[in-house]
């Protein structure tokens, strides 16, 4: 009976990163288990450039030093040359992490059960096969049936045959329907002909795919000066906006979204699990940031008109401050500025809801 040193149960973004940064070609026997391992997934991972993301600069696909927010007639533009907004694509990440790896094998299966034996684990696969390992990194998907707030979205990559004139990333464009929760368009110009246009909702309930697709086409017709385009690719996701507490025990370790890496107010997780892997600080986010996020999300859950709060926050901060706030490395003064943009009574109520719960 072969007992591997390490088993990755779920071989997505965080498992790939953990392999690359901790185990790549070291003296360990490693197995990855993931039914979707060879699927054509190629989503974008966005983040603002920080010191701990510099080692991955070579695989950054696009970067924008300016990003924008839109609400009714208002437009706010941020700029940061030092911390541009960047994206890495999933397939580039996978290639980067696995390149020349020779201490690694893969099983394209789902994991049905993990059982602790004496000093190793027994992993049962969907074909009844058993795999044994001394240590497990578990990144299987989080439960989206949870009744908490979620960020859900569909994005289309559109190819515009005559080209477009959009230069900056649009982080949040609220000039769209607001009847299903907080809704905005996220838009990235990928090159002179291609745009990623995403319809994103913060709410407890998922919508029919046709809803997001209609929002995207309406937005393109009403807000972009584009006549003819073709949808050439798409991505979709459901990200938790509720706290996930990892349940690590000995050699069983939860990582990625399952391990609590998601910044719940934004859905960003990619840079946070990499921060944990590359720094001495073993927390994804600081205690303070987690509390702020919890209060903020509680506020979103119980109040309309949250679009105005995002705009106020964007208005108070400059590009450097905003990116540092989003990446969890803001100075104290930036945190104070952010708090000053929040509605005081609503936030006190949200705080009380959390502590009294
Ligand atoms: C479309 C999309 C866009 C995103 N964009 C951003 C972004 O711009 N910036 C950012 O910071 N974050 C983003 N995120 C959030 C987050 O970074 C990603 O979800 C990231 O993939 C989390 O990594 P992970 O390893 O936890 O999960 P995943 O990458 O989803 O990996 C989990 C893996 O587990 C496998 N799996 C699930 N169940 C089983 C099972 N029973 N047995 C075996 N394998 C199983 C899945 O097939 C999957 O490959 C995005 C997420 C999505 C879905």
Helix (H, G, I), strand (E, B) or coil at 309: helix
Quick check: CB of 9 below 6 Å from ligand 1?
yes
Quick check: CB of 47 below 6 Å from ligand 1?
yes
Ligand 1 atom with minimal separation from the 90 CA: 21
Write down the pTM of the prediction. Answer: 0.95
Quick check: CB of 141 below 6 Å from ligand 1?
yes
Of all protein residues, the one whose alpha carbon is nearest to atom 25 of ligand 1 is 14
Roughly how many angstroms between the first and final C-alpha of the chain, as a whole number? 49
Measure 221 CA to ligand 1 centroid, in angstroms: 31
Per residue in 76-94, is it b (16+ CB within 10 Å) or e — as a string?
bebebeebbbbbbbbebbb
pLDDT in tens, 122-168: 999 999 999 999 999 999 998 877 788 999 999 999 999 999 999 99
Measure 56 CA to ligand 1 centroid, in angstroms: 18
Candidates 306, 152, 149; CA nearest to 242 is 149
Mean pLDDT of 310-328: 95
Assess whether pLDDT exceeds 80 at residue 280: no
Measure 142 CA to ligand 1 centroid, in angstroms: 9
Q: DSSP letter string over 264-282?
A: TTT---HHHHHHHHHSS--
pLDDT in tens, 46-75: 999 999 999 999 999 999 999 999 999 999
Residue-range domain boundaries for the chain: 3-143+249-256, 150-240, 286-356
DSSP 249: B
Q: How many CA atoms lie within 13 A of 90 on its CB side?
A: 15
3-143+249-256 carries CATH number 3.50.50.60:
yes
For a mutational test of ligand 1's pocket, the pick from 11, 13, 90, i.e. the residue with the most ligand atoms closer than 8 A to its C-beta, is 13
pLDDT in tens, 138-150: 999 988 777 889 9
Q: How far apart are CA 357 and CA 349, in angstroms?
A: 12
Mean pLDDT of 298-321: 91
Residue % of the chain over a pLDDT of 70: 100
What's the token pair of residue 144? Answer: 């989206």
Measure 102 CA to ligand 1 centroid, in angstroms: 24
Of all protein residues, the one whose alpha carbon is nearest to atom 32 of ligand 1 is 12
Mean pLDDT of 37-53: 96
Q: Which CATH architecture has domain 150-240?
A: 2-Layer Sandwich (3.30)
Q: For the purposes of burial, counting CB atoms within 10 Å of the CB of 357, is it exposed (0-12), middle (13-18) or buried (19 or more)?
A: exposed
Quick check: CB of 111 below 6 Å from ligand 1?
yes
């Amino acid at each position: 009976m072969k007992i591997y040193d390490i088993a990755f149960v779920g071989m997505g973004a965080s498992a790939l990163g953990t392999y690359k940064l901790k185990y790549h070609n070291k003296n360990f026997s490693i197995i990855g288990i993931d039914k979707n391992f060879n699927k054509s997934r190629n989503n974008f991972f966005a983040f603002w450039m920080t010191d701990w993301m510099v080692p991955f600069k070579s695989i950054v696909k696009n970067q924008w030093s300016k990003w924008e927010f839109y609400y009714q007639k208002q437009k706010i533009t941020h700029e940061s040359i030092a911390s541009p907004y960047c994206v890495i694509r999933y397939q580039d990440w996978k290639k980067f992490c696995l390149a020349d790896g020779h201490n690694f094998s893969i099983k394209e299966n789902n994991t049905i059960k993990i059982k602790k034996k004496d000093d190793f684990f027994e992993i049962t696969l969907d074909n009844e096969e058993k795999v044994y390992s001394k240590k497990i990194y578990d990144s299987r998907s989080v439960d989206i049936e949870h009744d908490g707030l979620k960020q859900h979205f569909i994005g289309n990559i559109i190819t515009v045959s005559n080209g477009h004139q959009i230069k900056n990333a649009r982080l949040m464009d609220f000039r769209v329907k607001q009847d299903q929760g907080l809704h905005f368009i996220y838009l990235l110009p990928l090159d002179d002909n291609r745009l990623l246009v995403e319809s994103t909702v913060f709410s407890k309930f998922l919508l029919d795919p046709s809803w997001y697709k209609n929002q995207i086409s309406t937005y393109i017709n009403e807000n972009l000066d584009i006549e003819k385009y073709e949808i050439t690719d798409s991505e979709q996701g459901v990200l938790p906006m509720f706290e996930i507490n990892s349940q690590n025990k000995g050699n069983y370790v939860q990582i990625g979204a399952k391990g609590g890496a998601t910044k719940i107010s934004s859905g960003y997780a990619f840079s946070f699990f990499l921060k944990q892997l590359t720094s001495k600080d073993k927390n994804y986010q600081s205690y303070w940031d987690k509390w702020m996020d919890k209060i903020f999300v509680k506020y979103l859950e119980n109040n309309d008109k949250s679009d105005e709060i995002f705009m106020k926050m964007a208005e108070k901060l400059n590009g450097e401050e905003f990116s540092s706030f989003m990446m969890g490395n803001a100075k104290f003064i930036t945190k104070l500025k952010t708090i000053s943009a929040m509605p005081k009574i609503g936030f006190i109520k949200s705080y009380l809801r959390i502590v009294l719960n």
